[in-house]
Amino acid sequence: SIVQMLQEMGGRTRQGQPRQPPEESGSLPGSEQF
C-alpha cells in the first residue's frame, strides 16, 4: 500500500508537478525514508 502511495505521489513529479517536501506532503517522506 505504501509503495502504491509513493508511486502515485512520485508519478506526479514525473508528469511535471513540483515534488512536495515531507513537511507539505504530510507523512510521505519519499526518498528520505527510502
pLDDT in tens, the chain (34 residues): 777 777 776 655 555 555 555 555 555 555 554 4
Mean of the per-residue pLDDT values for the chain?
59
Q: Cα(33)–Cα(16) distance, rounded to whole angstroms?
A: 22
Residue with cell 504530510: 26
Residue 2 near residue 30 (C-beta atoms within 8 A): no
Residue 5's pLDDT is 73
| Statement: the pTM of the whole predicted model exceeds 0.95 | no
Residue 4 near residue 28 (C-beta atoms within 8 A): no
